[in-house]
Every structure is written in structure tokens, then in C-alpha cells.
């Protein structure tokens, strides 16, 4: 069985990579949802990746890594899934707001 830090670290890295690849699409979605014109410059689609990547690392690390660790020590499916999802609610809101402000150039 892989070490706990390896499970969480790999899940966090997956979150960072997934966020970095999809960040331009997320930026376009934020602009469309707020009724703003889409950025003309390609570089503007990469505004705010720092908070987004931190959010991805924390959330994926907690959810995927935490789930694997809990299942590995014998937790049943439902309790492991519920416990690993709790940290997301604490992290997603504030970091998502910061990311959106940076993407739109307001923060």
C-alpha cells in the first residue's frame, strides 16, 4: 500500500495539472456568467491561476487522497466518501471567489 503522503501528494498534483489545463475554459465561463465580453488576448485567459491551482491541490488532495487513505485503513465506502468531501466545503468558496476576481481583473 502506498504511503499516506504519496496518496495525498499524487492527488494534489493531479488537481494542479487538471486546473492548469482547464483554467482558460474556466476563465471563459466566468466571463460569460458575469455578462462580460470574452478577453481578446490569449494571455488574459490565464489570469488568476495561482488561487485556482492552490484550490485544485487542496481539494483534490483532500478528496481523492483522503478517500484513498481512509479506504486503505478500513473505512467503509460511504463514511470514507463523506469524510473526504468535508474539506472541500471549507476551501472551495473563498478560493473560488478570489480566483473569479483575478480572472475578471477586479481583484
Is pLDDT of 107 > 70? no
Regarding pTM above 0.75, the answer is no
pLDDT tens column, 16-73: 999 999 999 989 998 898 888 998 898 889 888 888 898 889 888 888 888 888 999 9
C-alpha 26/C-alpha 88 separation (Å) is 18
Q: What pLDDT does residue 77 have?
A: 93
Question: Residues 106, 36: contact at Cβ < 8 Å?
Answer: no
> In sequence order, which ranges of the chain are alpha helices (DSSP H)?
4-33, 49-60, 66-72, 77-103
Is pLDDT of 4 > 90? no
Amino acid at each position: 500500500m502506498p504511503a499516506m503522503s504519496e496518496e495525498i501528494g499524487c492527488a494534489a498534483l493531479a488537481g494542479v495539472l487538471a486546473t492548469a489545463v482547464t483554467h482558460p475554459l474556466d476563465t471563459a465561463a466566468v466571463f460569460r456568467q458575469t455578462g462580460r465580453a470574452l478577453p481578446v488576448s490569449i494571455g488574459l485567459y490565464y489570469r488568476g491561476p495561482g488561487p485556482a491551482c492552490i484550490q485544485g491541490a487542496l481539494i483534490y488532495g483532500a478528496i481523492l487522497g483522503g478517500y484513498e487513505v481512509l479506504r486503505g485503513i478500513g473505512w467503509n465506502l460511504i463514511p470514507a466518501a463523506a469524510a473526504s468531501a468535508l474539506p472541500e466545503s471549507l476551501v472551495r468558496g473563498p478560493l473560488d471567489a478570489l480566483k473569479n476576481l483575478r480572472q475578471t481583473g477586479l481583484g
